[in-house]
Chain A
C-alpha cells in the first residue's frame, strides 16, 4: 500500500549496493599499495564517504525498503553490514530501537538528568564525536561471535542508554548475530590476506568510516524537540554528498515516515517548518558544547519492548 504511493527504487538500490561493495573492496586493496601516510589518510577518507553510502543502504534494508523482496532486502543488508563491520541483525535492532527511544531520557545525549553522572555523559558524547561509538560496535563483534547472549546482560546499570538498548534485544536473533560476526572475521581476514594489506593499514582505512559515521550519529537529533517522531532535523552538506548518502540528511522526514524510500524523502513533507535545513558540519561542531543538565524528564514509553 505504501509501495504504490512511494515505490522502492529497487534496481537503483541494487546497483548502488554492488557499486558500493566494489569500490570498498578496491579501496581496501589499495591500502596495501600506497606508500605515504597521507595517501592512506586519503583512502580512509574516501572509504568513509563511500561506506556511508553503504550505511545508507543498510539503513534502507533495516526499514525493509532497500528491495521489495524481503529476503533479498535482508541479504543485501547482511552483506553490506559486513563492511561496517558488524552483524546486520545487531545493528538493525539498535536502529529500530532508536525509532522507539528517540529523544526520551533513554536517548537524549545532549542532556544529563537528576542522579546521572555529568562526567560520564560528557565522556560518552565526546566518544561519539571522535568515533568511539563505532569502535565499540566494531569491537563488540568479539562478543557477538563468542557469546551473543552476553549482549543482553546488564552490566552498566548507571548507563541508561545502553541498558535501554539491551532490554530491547530479541534473543531469537542471537544465532544470526553470531554467524554474521563470524562472517565479519572471515571476510576481513580473507581480504587482508588476499589483498596483502597489513592489518594496521586495513584498520586505519576502516576507521575513516568509523569516525564519519560515529560523528554524524547524533547531529540530526541534537537540540530537537523531546518527541519520539518530531525529534529530528533535516540537514544538508554538498548536493553530491547528500545524494551519495541517499538523502540520509532528510532525517526529520525519515523519522516522520520511516517506511518511505530515500528518493522520496525530500518531497515528503513540504512547508516552512520542514524546509529549514541546517548545515551538517555546523550541527556536528555545535555538539562539542557538551551535554547540559535538564530537569525535564521524558519517559521512554516503550521501555522493555523487544524488537521483532
Chain B
C-alpha cells in the first residue's frame, strides 16, 4: 500500500493512460497513485507554461500595430500568470512533497542545452506568433480541464479543486486577451513568417504538447517506484504510454473542437493551418467524427 488516501486528483478521463487498454488491468490503488502523479505532471506543465509564456505576450503586445490597451492587459496577464505558476508549483508540492524536495520540475524537464537554444530562438520576433498560438491553445485547454475538474469537484481532492477554481477565475479573461491579440498580430505577419510559424506550431504541439514521450516515461519510472508490484510490468506500461501516439481516442482527449473550440475556429480562418489535422489529430474532421 503506497498511497492509502482515497483521494482522486483528476477526473480519470483527463489522464493519459485512461485511453490505453492497460488501464483496465490496474488495481484501484495503482490507479490512484497514477492519478496523483499525473496531477503532478499537469501542475508542472501549467507552472512551466504559465511561467514561460507571458513574456512573449508582453513582447507581442509592445509591437507598433497592436492597440495600446492590449499592452496594459498583457502586463496584468503576466502578473497573474506568475501567481498561477506559483500556485501550481505549490499544489504539486502538496500532492507529492517527497517528489519536490530537490527540484520543482521532476516530470517536465527539457534537456538543458536544447532548452537554452529554444529559449534563444524564441526571442526572435519572427517566431513569436507560434508562441502566441501555443499560449492560446494551452490557455483554452486549461479552461476545459478546470471546468471538468470543477464539474466533478465533489469526488476530487479539495486542494486541486480550489486551485482550479482560482485559475479559472482569471483564465477566461486571459483567453479573451489572447483571442483579441492573435489575429491582429498574425494578420500583420508576412506570409513566409506565417507559414514558418504554422509548421513550427505543428511540430511543437506534436513533439512536446501531444502524446506523452519523455515525461510520460519518467512518470512511469516514479510510479513503479511507488508501486513496486508494477515493477514486472514496467516495460509494458512504457509501451502502452508510447502507443497512445497512435490512439485516435487519446488524441481527441488532448485537442478537439469540444476542448479548444475558439482556437480551432481561429485555425479555420487561416490557410496556413489547413493541414494541421495531420499532426493534431483532434483537428481533423475524421477524428472528430
Contacts from A to B (Cβ < 8 Å): 1-2, 62-65, 96-97, 99-100, 102, 228-229, 256-259, 299, 301-308
Cβ–Cβ contact A99 & B98, under 8 A = yes
Cβ–Cβ contact B51 & A1, under 8 A = yes
The answer, yes or no, to whether B101 is at the interface (CB within 8 Å) is yes
| 28 A–B contacts, CB within 8 A, in A order | A1-B104, A2-B104, A63-B102, A64-B102, A96-B98, A96-B101, A96-B102, A228-B94, A228-B97, A229-B93, A229-B94, A229-B97, A256-B90, A257-B89, A257-B104, A258-B100, A259-B100, A259-B101, A259-B103, A299-B4, A301-B4, A302-B96, A304-B1, A304-B2, A305-B2, A306-B225, A306-B226, A308-B225
Residues of the A chain whose Cβ atoms lie less than 8 Å from the Cβ of B89: 257
Q: A2-B103, A229-B90, A301-B7 are in contact. List 17 more A-B contacts (CB 8 A).
A: A1-B48, A1-B51, A64-B102, A65-B102, A96-B98, A99-B97, A100-B97, A229-B94, A257-B90, A258-B100, A259-B102, A259-B103, A301-B5, A302-B97, A303-B4, A304-B2, A306-B225
Interface of A, secondary structure class, is loop
The answer, yes or no, to whether B172 is at the interface (CB within 8 Å) is no
Once bound together, how far apart are the Cα atoms of A253 and B103, in whole Å?
Answer: 16
Cβ–Cβ contact B48 & A100, under 8 A = no
Residues of the A chain whose Cβ atoms lie less than 8 Å from the Cβ of B239: none
Cβ–Cβ contact A258 & B1, under 8 A = no
Once bound together, how far apart are the Cα atoms of A299 and B5, in whole Å?
Answer: 8
> Interface residue tally of chain B, by bracket?
20 to 34
Residue of B nearest to A258 (CB): B101
Residue of A nearest to B102 (CB): A64
Cβ–Cβ contact B103 & A64, under 8 A = yes
Q: Which of B67-110 contact A (CB under 8 A)?
A: 89-90, 93-94, 96-98, 100-105
Residue of A nearest to B106 (CB): A308
Residue of A nearest to B51 (CB): A1
The answer, yes or no, to whether B3 is at the interface (CB within 8 Å) is yes
Shortest CB distance B182–A (Å): 26
A229-B90, A256-B90 known; A305-B98 Cβ under 8 A: yes
Shortest CB distance B51–A (Å): 7
- Interface-centre pick from B89, B102, B103, B105 (highest chain A CB count, 10 A): B102
Once bound together, how far apart are the Cα atoms of A304 and B103, in whole Å?
Answer: 21
Once bound together, how far apart are the Cα atoms of A1 and B3, in whole Å?
Answer: 29
Cβ–Cβ contact B98 & A301, under 8 A = no
Residue of A nearest to B52 (CB): A1
Once bound together, how far apart are the Cα atoms of A102 and B101, in whole Å?
Answer: 13
Shortest CB distance A95–B (Å): 8
Cβ–Cβ contact B98 & A97, under 8 A = yes
Residues of the A chain whose Cβ atoms lie less than 8 Å from the Cβ of B3: 301-302, 305
Shortest CB distance A163–B (Å): 14
Once bound together, how far apart are the Cα atoms of A93 and B225, in whole Å?
Answer: 16
Residues of the B chain whose Cβ atoms lie less than 8 Å from the Cβ of A301: 3-5, 7
Residue of A nearest to B47 (CB): A1
Once bound together, how far apart are the Cα atoms of A306 and B224, in whole Å?
Answer: 11
Residues of the B chain whose Cβ atoms lie less than 8 Å from the Cβ of A303: 4
Once bound together, how far apart are the Cα atoms of A96 and B101, in whole Å?
Answer: 7
Residues of the B chain whose Cβ atoms lie less than 8 Å from the Cβ of A229: 90, 93-94, 97
Shortest CB distance A202–B (Å): 33
Q: Which of B185-225 contact A (CB under 8 A)?
A: 222, 225
Once bound together, how far apart are the Cα atoms of A96 and B94, in whole Å?
Answer: 14
Once bound together, how far apart are the Cα atoms of A228 and B5, in whole Å?
Answer: 14
Residues of the B chain whose Cβ atoms lie less than 8 Å from the Cβ of A259: 100-104
Once bound together, how far apart are the Cα atoms of A273 and B225, in whole Å?
Answer: 37
Residues of the B chain whose Cβ atoms lie less than 8 Å from the Cβ of A308: 98, 222, 225
Residues of the B chain whose Cβ atoms lie less than 8 Å from the Cβ of A100: 97-98
Shortest CB distance B36–A (Å): 9
Shortest CB distance A102–B (Å): 8
Residue of B nearest to A101 (CB): B97
Shortest CB distance B171–A (Å): 22
Per-residue CB proximity of B1-21 to A under 8 Å, as 1/0?
111110100000000000000
Once bound together, how far apart are the Cα atoms of A63 and B96, in whole Å?
Answer: 15
Q: Which of B97-147 contact A (CB under 8 A)?
A: 97-98, 100-105
Shortest CB distance B215–A (Å): 14
Once bound together, how far apart are the Cα atoms of A96 and B93, in whole Å?
Answer: 12
- Interface-centre pick from A62, A102, A305 (highest chain B CB count, 10 A): A305
Residue of A nearest to B2 (CB): A304
